[in-house]
Structure 1
Amino acid sequence: MRQRQIDWPTFIGAFLLLLAVTLPLILFPEEGKEIVGKANTFMTTNFGVLYLAMGLIVFAFLLYVAFSKNGHVKLGDEGQKPEFNSFSWAAMLFAAGIGSSILYWSVIEWVYYYQGPPFGLAGESTEAIQWATAYGIFHWGPIAWSIYTLPALPIAYFFYVRKRPVLKVSEAIRPVLGGLIDGPLGKIIDILFIFGLLGGAGTTLALGTPMIAQGVTYLTGWPVTLWLQAVIMLVCTAIFAVSSYSGLRRGIKLLSDINLWLALFILAFILVFGPTRFILETTFNSLGILLDNFFKMATWVEPFGDIGEFTQTGFPEAWTVFYWAWWLVYAPFVGLFVARISRGRTIREMIFGTMIYGTLGCVLFFGIMGNYGLHLQLTGQFDAMSHINEFGAPATIIAIISQLPFPGLMVGAFTILAIIFLATTFDSSSFILASVAQKEVENEPLRWNRLFWAFTLSIMPLALMFLGGLDTLQTASIVGGFPLIFIMFLLAWSFMRASNHDINASDNYESPTIYIKRGKKKKKKRSPLEVLKDQNPDPPDD
C-alpha cells in the first residue's frame, strides 16, 4: 500500500536525469566542464537582465501581497496556532535556506569585492572598501529571500487552505495550467526541480566540505586529502540521514535549534572579543550604502561595457546574476519547506517572517564575520588577501577564525557549526525531495523515501568530488534551472488566481472556507439552500 504513495514517474525520472548528467561528467570530465562552462557564460551574459528583472519583480510582488487582503489569509483552520514557535520556525527556515555557504562567504566574500570592485572602481581603493562591506549583504538580502518566499505562497495555500495533501511545484500551478499538470508537463516541472536541488546541494557540499576539512586539519594536524573530505561528507550524510529519518519535529527542528544557538554564540563572541566598535560602525554604514543604492545594485548590468572608453568587468554576471540564478535553483525547495513549517500563520506573517528573519541573519553573519576579517586586513594583523591568493578560500577562512582569542575553541566551534549547517540543509532537502516524489503527503513522507534521497544527495557529489567535477555539476544545475524563471511567474499568477477566487466568491458553496485575520473571524459562507431561505422566508402555500 505504501508503495502506491510514490509518484514513480517523478521518482525514476529525476534519478535518471541525475545519472544522465553525472555519468558523462565522470567519464568525460574535461569535455563536460567546457560545454557546461560555455552554456553558463551564454546564459548569464545574454539573460542577465531577465534574472535581475525577475528579482525586482518578485520583491515588489511579495510586498504587494503582504499588504493586500490576500496577505491576511490564514494557513490553516480558524483558531489554529502556529505549529512551531517563532524561534524554531526562524531557525529551520534560515538553516534550510542558507546552510554552510553562509559561513564560507560571510568570512571572505569581501576579499573578492575589495580586489575587483563593482562600477569600474579601482581595486583596493577607499571606494572599494565601502562597496566590499555592502555587496555581500545585498546579495544575501531581501531579494534573495523574496525569491525563496514566492514558491511558498501557492504551495502553502493549497496545502493548508484548500487541504490538498500534495507538496509539489507542479500542483501549485494547477489553477493556471489546469489538467496539463496531470500529464508529462507536470512531471517535467517536478523533475527539473529535483535536478536543480541536487545540483544546488552539490554546490553547498563543494563549499562546505573543504572548509570543514581545513578546520579538522587545524585541530588535528591531519593533512587535507580527498579521503579526509570523503569521510567528512559521509559523517555529514549520517547526521542528516538520522535527522531526516527522525522526522520534522524530533530531527530537523532539534538540529536547527542547536544550529542557531551555536551560531549566535560564535557571532556574539566575535562581536565582544573582536573590534566591536569597528564591526558595529561598518555594519551600520553598510546598511546605509545598501538602502541608498538598492535599485542601482539591483539593476546594474554594464550596458556600456567594451564600448568606447568603457571596459567590461564581468562583475554583474559573475556575482549578482550568478547569485540570483543560484537562489532560483534553491527557491522551490526552500519554498516547499517554508510552506510545510508555516501552518497556523498568515500569508503576511510567512512573507515578512521569511524575508526579515532571513535578511537579519545574513546581516549578522556578513556584518560581524566579514567585517572582522576586513579589520584584520586593514590593521595589518592578518593579510587575508595574500593568504587567499596563495592557499585558497577554505584555508583563509579557518586562518581568520584562528586569529580570535581561544583559537582552538573557536575553530572547533566554527567547524562543528559548519557540519550542523550542512546537515540541516540536507535533511531539509531530503525531506522535500521525498515529498515531491510522493503522490500525497498527509503528515511526513515515507521514511525509506527520505533516506533514499538523503544518500542520493551525497553519493553523486562524492563521486564527482574525486574526479574534480563537482563545480561542473553545480554550474549544470544552474543552467538547467533557467526554466524556473518562467515557473516563478506561473506560481505568482496561480496564487493570486486561487486566493482571489476563494476570497471573492463567498457565495460559491464549493469554495473552501477562508479565515482572514482581521481581529474577528470572517463571516462563514452559506449554502445555496440558506440563501434561498433568506430570499423566501415564508414557506409557499400548498
Structure 2
Amino acid sequence: MSKKVDIKLIALTITLLMCVVVPIVFWPDGTSKIINDFFHMMTTDFAWAFLLIGFGCTIFVIFIIISKYGNIRLGGEDAKPHYKGFTWISMIITSALAAGILIFGIVEWMFYVESTPFGIEPRSVEAYEMASAYGMFHWGFSASAFYLPASLAIGYMLWNRKGKSMKISEACSEVLGKEKTKNSLFKLIIDGVVTFCFVGGLLITVGLGTSVIGELIGDLFNVDNTLTLRITIIFAFCAFFIAATSKSIAKGMAKISNFNIYLALAFFLFVFIVGPKSFILNNVVMAVGTNITNFVKMSFYTDAVAQTGFIQNWTIFYWAWYLSLSISIGLWVARISYGRTFRQIAIIVFIVLVFFNLATSATSVSTMVAMITSKNLQVNEEPNKWFKVLWGCIFMVLPVTILYLENAVEELNILGIMQSMTSLFGVPLFFVNVFLIWSAVKAIRSDYKNNKLKI
C-alpha cells in the first residue's frame, strides 16, 4: 500500500485537520469565539484584498476570451477531448458549488431586503430591486471567474507540459524547481495545505446542505431536526458518493452529472410553469440590467464609511469561499478538459446555472485528493477505489464536528461559524494560486519563445 500512497502528505493533512477538530470538540466555546474573531478581522481589515482578487479574476477571464491566448489547447494542437461537450459541461457545473447556490440563491434575497447595501432603506422598492441584483452578482461572473486562473494554469502544466502527477507542487515546478529534492519541504507544505483546504471548501456545502435537508425532512415527516438526523444524512451522502467514487470518472461522475443537469432543467421548468411567469421574466431582466449598471460599484464597495456589515457578511464571505474552492475545482476542470481550448473553459465558467449537487461536489473533490496523495500515479490513471472512498469519508469529519459544535454551544450562529471557517481556508490558497499562475505564465512564455507553442 505504501508504494501507492503518499504517507507524508496524508499524515500532514490529517494533522492539520486534527488541529481544527480537537479544539472544537474539547473547547467549543473558546474555539467558536476565536473563529468568529478571525472572521471579523479578515472580512473587515482585508475586505479590499478580497474585492480586488475577485475583480482581477473577472478581468482575467475577459482577457482570455478576447486575446490570442484563448486559442491555447490543453494537450496540444491535435488533442481531442476525452468527454462529449454536454458531459464535460455537466461535470464542471456540478462540481463547482454543489447545493450552496440552490440554498443561498433562493433565500438570500430575503436577508438583503432587511440588511441592505449602500445604506438603502430596508424593505423599500429599491431594497427589493438590489436584493435580486446582488444575489445574481454573488453567483455570477466574478464568482465563477475565481476558478479559471487555477484551471488554466493546472491544465497547461498537466497536459501541455506533460505533468507526471496531479500534485499542485508539480504544477508549480517552474517556480519551485523540477528536481524532487529542490524545495522538497516547501512542496510538501503546499500539497498538504491544499489537501487540507479541500476539506474546508466543502464545509459550507455539506454543513449547510445537511441542516437544510434535515429541516425539509422534519417538515415532511413531522419529526425533529436533531443532531442524529443530520449525522444520518451525512452518512447517507457518504454512501452515495462511495458508490460514485467506486466507478471511474467516465462511469461515475459523468453519469451523475448528466442526471443532475437534466433534473435541474426539469426543476426550473416546473418552477417557471407553476410560478408567476411574467414576474420571473421581468425580474430577471431587471436584475441583469441592475448588475450591468452597478457591477463596478458592487465589485469595489468595501462599506468603509457606513460599516453596515453587509459586505463582510456576504460578498467577502462568498469571495473567500470561492477562493477556498479555486484549487480543487481548478484541478477537476483541468483533469477533464484535455483537448479543450483556454477560451472554451472561460466561456463555460461564465455560464450561470442555478443547480449544483452536494454529492457530486464531494465525489469530484475526493477523487482529486486521492490523486494528489497517491504516488507514481500517471495523469491518465485513476487512484484506487478504496482510497477515493477513504478521502470521501475523511471529508465528512469536519461537517460532523461543526454539527457537534452547534449542539454544544447554546444560541450559536452556526452560519456565522461556517462563514468564519471558510475564510480561514481561503487565505492560504490565495498564495498557492500566486505560485501556480506564476509557474504557468513562465512555462507559456518559455514554450512560446522556443516555438513549442503556437498561438
Tell me if both proteins adopt one fold, taking TM over 0.5 as the criterion: yes
Give the equivalent residue in structure 2 for 1:426.
362
On the 8 A contact 1:200/1:478 being kept in 2, the answer is no
- Residues 287-329 of structure 1: per-residue CA shift (max 9 Å, x gap): 00001111100000123x2xxxxx3201111111111111000
| 1:137 and 2:73 are equivalent in the alignment | no
- Residues 430-461 of structure 1: per-residue CA shift (max 9 Å, x gap): 01111121244322122222111011011342
On the 8 A contact 2:204/2:422 being kept in 1, the answer is no
Q: How far has the Cα of 1:47 moved from its partner?
A: 0.9
Q: Which amino acid aligns with 1:208?
A: G
On the 8 A contact 1:167/1:440 being kept in 2, the answer is no
Q: 2:373 is matched with which residue: 423, 437, 443?
A: 437
CA distance in 1, matches of 2:307, 2:340: 47
Q: How far has the Cα of 1:150 moved from its partner?
A: 1.1
CA distance in 2, matches of 1:181, 1:6: 21
Q: Which amino acid aligns with 1:499?
A: I
Q: 1:329 is matched with which residue: 303, 324, 332?
A: 324
> CA 1:460–1:314 in 2, change beyond 3 Å: closer, same or farther?
closer
CA distance in 2, matches of 1:275, 1:123: 24
Q: 1:348 is matched with which residue: 335, 343, 351?
A: 343
Q: How far has the Cα of 1:169 moved from its partner?
A: 2.2
Equivalent residues in 2 for 1:396-475, closer than 5 Å:
421-442=357-378, 443-468=381-406, 472=417, 475=420
CA distance in 1, matches of 2:320, 2:83: 30
CA distance in 2, matches of 1:285, 1:441: 50
Give the equivalent residue in structure 1 for 2:411.
none
| 1:283 and 2:284 are equivalent in the alignment | yes
Q: How far has the Cα of 1:205 moved from its partner?
A: 1.4
> CA 1:62–1:259 in 2, change beyond 3 Å: closer, same or farther?
same
On the 8 A contact 2:90/2:261 being kept in 1, the answer is yes
5+ residue gaps, structure 2, are 409-413
Please give the secondary structure, in 1, of the residue aligned with 2:2: helix
Q: Which amino acid aligns with 1:495?
A: A
Give the equivalent residue in structure 2 for 1:501.
446
Q: Which amino acid aligns with 1:432?
A: M
Q: How far has the Cα of 1:464 moved from its partner?
A: 3.4
Let me know the Cα RMSD of the aligned residues. Answer: 1.9
On the 8 A contact 2:317/2:422 being kept in 1, the answer is no
Give the equivalent residue in structure 1 for 2:101.
102
On the 8 A contact 1:230/1:462 being kept in 2, the answer is yes
- Residues 104-133 of structure 1: per-residue CA shift (max 9 Å, x gap): 111101001111110011110111011000
Q: How far has the Cα of 1:77 moved from its partner?
A: 4.4
Bigger Cα displacement from structure 2, 50-59 vs 77-86: 77-86
On the 8 A contact 1:196/1:477 being kept in 2, the answer is no
CA distance in 2, matches of 1:199, 1:262: 28
Give the equivalent residue in structure 1 for 2:265.
264
Please give the secondary structure, in 2, of the residue aligned with 1:5: coil
> CA 1:76–1:326 in 2, change beyond 3 Å: closer, same or farther?
same
Bigger Cα displacement from structure 2, 163-172 vs 63-72: 63-72
- Residues 400-430 of structure 1: per-residue CA shift (max 9 Å, x gap): xxxxxxxxxxxxxxxxxx8xx1111100110
> CA 1:238–1:452 in 2, change beyond 3 Å: closer, same or farther?
same
Q: How far has the Cα of 1:181 moved from its partner?
A: 6.6
Question: Percent same amino acid among aligned pairs?
Answer: 32
Q: How far has the Cα of 1:88 moved from its partner?
A: 1.3
> CA 1:464–1:296 in 2, change beyond 3 Å: closer, same or farther?
closer
Equivalent residues in 2 for 1:54-93, closer than 5 Å:
54-93=53-92
Q: Which amino acid aligns with 1:212?
A: I
Please give the secondary structure, in 2, of the residue aligned with 1:106: helix
On the 8 A contact 1:26/1:464 being kept in 2, the answer is no
Please give the secondary structure, in 2, of the residue aligned with 1:20: helix
Give the equivalent residue in structure 2 for 1:224.
225
> What TM-score, normalized by structure 2, do the two folds share?
0.93
CA distance in 1, matches of 2:150, 2:44: 26
CA distance in 2, matches of 1:104, 1:430: 22
CA distance in 1, matches of 2:173, 2:293: 40
> CA 1:108–1:328 in 2, change beyond 3 Å: closer, same or farther?
same
> What TM-score, normalized by structure 1, do the two folds share?
0.78
CA distance in 1, matches of 2:422, 2:136: 24
CA distance in 2, matches of 1:214, 1:515: 55
| 1:361 and 2:353 are equivalent in the alignment | yes
CA distance in 2, matches of 1:270, 1:480: 35
Q: How far has the Cα of 1:182 moved from its partner?
A: 4.3
On the 8 A contact 2:146/2:323 being kept in 1, the answer is yes
Q: Which amino acid aligns with 2:370?
A: A
CA distance in 1, matches of 2:16, 2:362: 20
5+ residue gaps, structure 1, are 306-310, 366-417, 507-512, 517-542
On the 8 A contact 2:203/2:422 being kept in 1, the answer is no
Q: Which amino acid aligns with 2:270?
A: F
Q: How far has the Cα of 1:7 moved from its partner?
A: 2.2
CA distance in 2, matches of 1:181, 1:285: 55
Q: Which amino acid aligns with 2:53?
A: M
Q: How far has the Cα of 1:103 moved from its partner?
A: 1.3
Find the structure with the greater CA-based Rg: 1
On the 8 A contact 1:149/1:354 being kept in 2, the answer is yes
> CA 1:73–1:222 in 2, change beyond 3 Å: closer, same or farther?
same
CA distance in 1, matches of 2:433, 2:77: 29
Give the equivalent residue in structure 2 for 1:523.
none
